[in-house]
Amino acid sequence: MSVTKDSSKPIKPRFLTIIILLGVVLLWLGVRVIFPDSPTLFVGTPPNNLGIIEGKLAVCPTTPNCVSSQSQEAEHSIAPFSYQGSTSDAIATLKKIINQQERSKIIAETDQYLYAQFTSKWMGFVDDVEFFLNPEKSIIDVRSASRLGESDLGVNRQRIEEIRQAFVDYYLN
């Protein structure tokens, strides 16, 4: 009786784990490409403190993933927008700018308030963005906050600054 030696090497658990994780990531990316508007595990629950209460937007949480023009804290503070003309023109301009943004959706609006949601492309995180027009000062107070997580890597601040620039460009043209 001859004995054959098995020269194959067993798959190491670490290598198998990497292969499985890579497969999960590729599957996730494939689903996001095919169904980009489908909600993910990272949508979170809409906050119940949005809107205008006594002339103010909600206070930013203690996490660094929020900016507000009404905040007194340097970490969260951002300048309000200035506008000229009527509030209806300013709201219409904001709506036009937001509707041109990818993965944005206007949820609520009044003659002095606009609330939109922005969803990140790959993970599906949702940020809540509000604009409150003050016709006496001709300013638009803004608030942008992530629903989940600790840090947003500056995404909310960058988004507001991009919207501000588009808003300024509209009035200059």
pLDDT digits (tens, 9 = 90+) for 148-157: 888 888 899 9
Query: Is residue 106 a contact partner of residue 88, using CB atoms and an 8 Å limit?
Result: no
pLDDT at position 149 is 81
Residues facing 116 on adjacent strands = 106, 129
Q: pTM higher than 0.75, yes or no? A: yes
Nearest-angstrom CA–CA distance, 3 and 48: 72
Q: What is the pLDDT of residue 40?
A: 64
Q: Is the pLDDT of residue 162 over 90?
A: yes
In eight-state DSSP terms, residue 152 is -
CB 106 within 8 A of CB 91: no
pLDDT of 172 reads 65
Q: Give the span between the Cα atoms of 132 and 115, in whole angstroms.
A: 9
Burial of 51 (0-12, 13-18, 19+ CB in 10 A): middle
User: What pLDDT, on the 0 to 100 scale, is given for residue 12?
Assistant: 77
**In the prediction, which pLDDT does 35 show?**
65
pLDDT of residue 38: 64
| Tens-place pLDDT, residues 63-94 | 999 999 999 999 999 999 999 889 999 999 99
**Mean of pLDDT values over 23-30:** 70
pLDDT at 56 over 70: yes
- Check residue 77 and report its DSSP letter: B
HSE value, Cβ hemisphere, 13 Å, CA-based, for 9? 4
- List the one residue out of 64, 124, 133 whose CA is nearest residue 92: 133
pLDDT (tens digit, 9 = 90+) per residue, 95-141?
999 999 988 999 999 999 999 999 987 677 899 999 999 999 999 99
User: Which position has the token pair 């490409």?
Assistant: 33
Of 130, 126, 127, 138, which is closest to residue 110 (Cα–Cα)? 130
Residues linked to residue 77 through DSSP beta bridges, in sequence order: 68
What pLDDT is recorded for position 150? 80
Q: Contact 127/144 with Cβ under 8 angstroms?
A: yes
How many angstroms separate the CA atoms of 138 and 90, rounded? 10
pLDDT at 28: 60
Question: Which amino acid is residue 159, in one-letter code?
Answer: R
